[in-house]
Amino acid sequence: MSIPVKNDVLKNHLLAALPKQEFARLEPHLESISLTLGKAIYESGDKMTHIYFPTTAIISMLYIMENGATAEIGIAGNNGLIGSALFMGSESTSSRAVVQSSGDAIRVKAKPLQAEFDRGGLFQKLLLRYTQSLMTQISQTAVCNRLHTVNQQLCRWLLINHDQLETNKLVMTQELIANMLGVRREGVTIAAKKLQEKGLIKYARGTITMLNRKGLEAAACECYQIVIDEYERLLGEYIPINRNEYETAGNK
């Protein structure tokens, strides 16, 4: 934990969108924290102490079934936050939050967070709109899980991650992906192999390299676009949507 550098804080789009005055009020309460792959930020039912705004990390919200099976209900990277319960007047939630790509996040304690939220400025507006977009993400993930092939889901999931990474490389085990998608590890292996054969990704030693973004978009289900469009509709007026459009070697 340390006092963050302002340029790093601004990597989170929600924080970057704040007017000067609101940012200045929050600034003394911001802490920078490094998060490693697989770390649980909080468990289902835990008392939550902080809200997290990822800057380079990606954090996944998982719902845990009674038999221990997990399914991802939402993802937050530099476009989002983890811990909406805190500004909704609750201290815990029913999901687990796990780091799915290591990196940094900015966190704020519950009290100063609520104080700024209750002022009713743009901060509140952004957080409420983000919550609405999260609802769409959760519902659409449910639809996707119900209907779409592991292959399509994997493409959707890779694209979401890609949008929030600074590179086209994602360090990730098949086991973790299986936990996110709520499928068997074997299902992920087969799907990843198919994408590799099509030249869309390269998967070696726990690193997935996304080679052809357009190809992944074509192979994904519509769920990816629906969630992106909804985020843009709600937050586009405050947050520049800069999706990673770069062409990679594999695409030339």
Partner 1 sequence: MSVTALQHIPIGNKMLAALPAQEYQRLADKLEPFDLKFGETIYKPNENIKNVYFLNSGIVSFLTAIEKRSTLEVGLVGNEGMVGLSTFLGTTKSPNSAVVRATGIAWKMKATDFLNECRENILLSRIVHNYTHLLLIQLSIIGACNRFHPICKRLTCWLLMTSDRMGTGKFNITQQFISNMLGVRREAVAKAASSLQEKQLISYSRGNLSILNRAGLETIACKCYSIIKEEEQNYLN
Residue 231 near partner 1 by CB under 8 A: no
Residue 81 near partner 1 by CB under 8 A: no
> Of 32, 131, 196, 225, which one interacts with partner 1 (CB under 8 A)?
131
Residue 59 near partner 1 by CB under 8 A: no
Q: By CB under 8 A, what part of segment 85-114 binds partner 1?
A: 85, 87-90, 93-95
Residue 226 near partner 1 by CB under 8 A: yes
Name beta bridge partners: 40: 98
> Of 39, 128, 189, 209, which one interacts with partner 1 (CB under 8 A)?
128
Nearer to partner 1, 74 or 77 (CB): 74
| DSSP assignments along 73-121, one per residue | EEEESTT--B-GGGGGT-S--SEEEEEEE-EEEEEEEHHHHHHHHHTTS
> Of 134, 160, 172, 219, which one interacts with partner 1 (CB under 8 A)?
134
Rounded to a whole number of angstroms, the minimum distance from the CB of residue 127 to partner 1 is 9
Residue 122 near partner 1 by CB under 8 A: no
Nearer to partner 1, 37 or 85 (CB): 85
Number of residues in contact with partner 1 under rule CB under 8 A? 39
Rounded to a whole number of angstroms, the minimum distance from the CB of residue 76 to partner 1 is 13
Quote the crossing angle between the two packed helices 150-163 and 223-235, to the nearest 10°. Answer: 30
Q: How far apart are CA 62 and CA 158, in angstroms?
A: 17
Contact 103, 170 (CB under 8 A): no
Residue 73 near partner 1 by CB under 8 A: yes
Q: Which phi-psi region, left, alpha or beta, contains residue 70 (left: φ > 0; alpha: ψ -120 to 50)?
A: beta
Q: By CB under 8 A, what part of segment 7-46 binds partner 1?
A: none
- One-letter amino acid at 69 equals A
Q: How far apart are CA 5 and CA 17, in angstroms?
A: 17
Range 204-219 burial, b when 16+ CB lie within 10 A, else e: eeeebbbbbbebbeeb
Residue 49 near partner 1 by CB under 8 A: no
- One-letter amino acid at 246 equals Y
Please enumerate in sequence order all residues whose Cβ is within 8 A of that of 110, keeping only pairs 6 or more positions apart, or say none.
Answer: 48, 49, 50, 51, 86, 91
Q: Could you list the residues that contact partner 1 (CB under 8 A)? A: 61, 63, 65-66, 69, 71, 73, 84-85, 87-90, 93-95, 120, 125, 128-129, 131-132, 134-136, 138-143, 145-147, 182, 226, 230, 233-234
